[in-house]
Amino acid sequence: MLNWILEPLQFEFMQIALITAILVAGVSAVLSCYLC
């Protein structure tokens, strides 16, 4: 089952998409503290 989860990460565009999603989530979490 772990192979099924890690298989898409063999592609470079999926790695970039994952890093981008993590960065956007982190920035959104920090900004939400100041906006509310």
Instruction: Give the tokens for residue 16.
Output: 């970039």
What is the count of structural domains for the chain? 1
pLDDT the model gives residue 13: 96
Domain that holds residue 19: 2-35
pTM of the model: 0.74
* Gyration radius from the chain CA atoms: 14
Digit-coded pLDDT (tens) for 1-36: 889 888 998 999 999 999 999 999 999 999 999 887
pLDDT score of 28: 96
Instruction: Say if residues 9 and 18 touch (Cβ distance below 8 Å).
Output: yes
